[in-house]
Amino acid sequence: MDKLDLLKRVGENIKYQRELKNLSQVELVGLMEGNIDTTNISRIESGRTNPTIFTLYRISKALNISVSKLLLVPEEI
């Protein structure tokens, strides 16, 4: 798995978890600690930006899940 595939997979995981909780991107930003722009969440979910570990931590706390759930990728064969 290359970098772009990994970023896309993490973004898909975030979007999936957010939608499971029926949250919009704006609502997710409102639940997060600190400042983050809604457009940044959009870029993360689409795999167009590489979020920091701290940003992933804040997203996981806002979604009330572990960071590891955001990082789940299928095992490479």
Q: What is the DSSP string of 33-63?
A: SS---HHHHHHHHTT-S---HHHHHHHHHHH
| CATH code, 20 | 1.10.260.40
Note the maximum CA span of the chain. Answer: 39
Domain that holds residue 65: 3-70
Residue 1 has pLDDT above 60, yes or no: yes
Between these two residues, 48 and 74, which has the higher pLDDT value?
Answer: 48
Q: Tell me: the pLDDT tens digits for 16-36?
A: 999 999 999 999 999 998 889
Question: Do the domain assignments include residue 32?
Answer: yes
Quote the number of domains for the chain.
1
Question: Do the domain assignments include residue 76?
Answer: no
pLDDT tier, 75 (very low <50, low <70, confident <90, very high otherwise): low
